[in-house]
């Protein structure tokens, strides 16, 4: 009984993670400019990793494999947002233009080339 | 059980294909780097899934190391694309045209 519940929960987590991965991939391919693509990739990447690794951890119970999966999850949760942040910051410094809506063509960039924080 | 794992692996492979298309097509260098970053993260997940499909539990170490190397590689490629030089602090960025 408990075994079945854990299995079904694991399947749901795995398939949801796979679905989020595909959604992020489609967004990465279809979105119009760099920053929206970064949004699609960066957000779904983290959630996809969390769901799939949690689903796998439920499969193996408490073992060395689970601990290593937990380490992978921690590394991914630290490095994926850091890489996304570094990419966004490099693009802003390099003055990659965001694609604006039709009515906003005359909006001036108050801080072009100078990110507001120095982190 | 294995069916669900294989289905998830197929979904991840589809994502990797989409990221590869973006990496080949991307107009700016940053689009390509984002796509390669997604590709690397998905590789980690695929290796973890293959560990469970085949039952070879040693493979998880490959995923662990790949997760670390992927981040270092992305930051290094980003710095190389930005500074044109991995060693210096980028003082001569833009001036260095060759070697």
Sequential DSSP letters for B13-59: HHHHHHHHHHHHH-SSHHHHHHHHHHHHHHHHHHHHHHHHHH--GGG
**Chain B closest CA to A107's CA: distance in Å?**
23
pLDDT digits (tens, 9 = 90+) for B54-79: 988 889 999 999 999 998 998 888 88
Residue B11 burial (CB < 10 Å; 0-12/13-18/19+)? buried
A22, A56, A65 member nearest B11 (Cβ)? A22
Q: Per the CB < 8 Å rule, is A15 touching B7?
A: yes
> Cβ contacts (< 8 Å) between B1 and chain A: which residues?
7, 59
Give me the residue label for tokens 């998880």.
Answer: B60
How far is Cα B9 from Cα A110, in angstroms, rounded to an integer?
45
**Does B45 reach chain A within 8 Å, measured CB to CB?**
yes
Where in the sequence is the domain holding B60, given as residue range(s)? 2-83
> Is the sign of the CA dihedral B72, B77, B83, B86 positive or negative?
positive
How far is Cα B20 from Cα A14, in angstroms, rounded to an integer?
23
pLDDT digits (tens, 9 = 90+) for B38-53: 999 999 999 999 999 9
Rg (CA), chain A: 19
**Does B88 reach chain A within 8 Å, measured CB to CB?**
no
pLDDT digits (tens, 9 = 90+) for A24-42: 999 999 988 888 999 988 8
pLDDT at position B96: 44
pLDDT digits (tens, 9 = 90+) for A86-111: 888 888 888 878 877 666 555 555 44
Domain-located, residue B48: yes
Helix (H, G, I), strand (E, B) or coil at A99: coil
> Cβ contacts (< 8 Å) between B70 and chain A: which residues?
79
Helix (H) or strand (E) holding A83: helix A64-93
DSSP one-letter code for A109: -
pLDDT at position B98: 43
Domain-located, residue B54: yes
pTM of the predicted structure, to 2 decimals: 0.82
pLDDT at position A70: 92
Looking at the structure of chain B, the number of domains it has is 1
Rg (CA), chain B: 17
């Amino acid at each position: 009984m408990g075994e079945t519940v854990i299995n079904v929960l694991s399947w749901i987590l795995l398939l949801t993670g796979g679905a989020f991965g595909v959604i992020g991939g489609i967004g990465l391919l279809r979105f119009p400019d760099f920053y929206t693509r970064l949004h699609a990739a960066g957000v779904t990447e983290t959630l996809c990793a969390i769901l799939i690794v949690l689903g796998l951890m439920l499969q193996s119970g408490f073992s060395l494999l689970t601990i290593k999966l937990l380490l992978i999850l921690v590394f991914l949760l630290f490095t994926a947002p850091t890489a996304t942040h570094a990419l966004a910051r490099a693009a802003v410094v390099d003055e990659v233009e965001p694609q604006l809506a039709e009515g906003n063509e005359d909006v001036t960039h108050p801080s072009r080339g100078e990110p507001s924080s120095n982190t | 059980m294995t069916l669900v794992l294989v289905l998830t692996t197929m979904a991840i492979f589809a994502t990797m294909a989409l990221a590869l298309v973006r990496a080949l097509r991307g107009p700016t260098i940053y689009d390509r780097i984002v796509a390669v970053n997604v590709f690397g993260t998905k590789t980690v997940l695929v290796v973890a899934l293959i560990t469970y499909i085949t039952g070879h539990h040693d493979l998880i170490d490959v995923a662990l190391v790949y997760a670390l190397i992927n981040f270092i590689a992305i930051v290094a490629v980003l710095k190389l694309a930005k500074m044109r030089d991995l060693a210096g602090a980028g003082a001569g960025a833009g001036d260095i045209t060759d070697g």
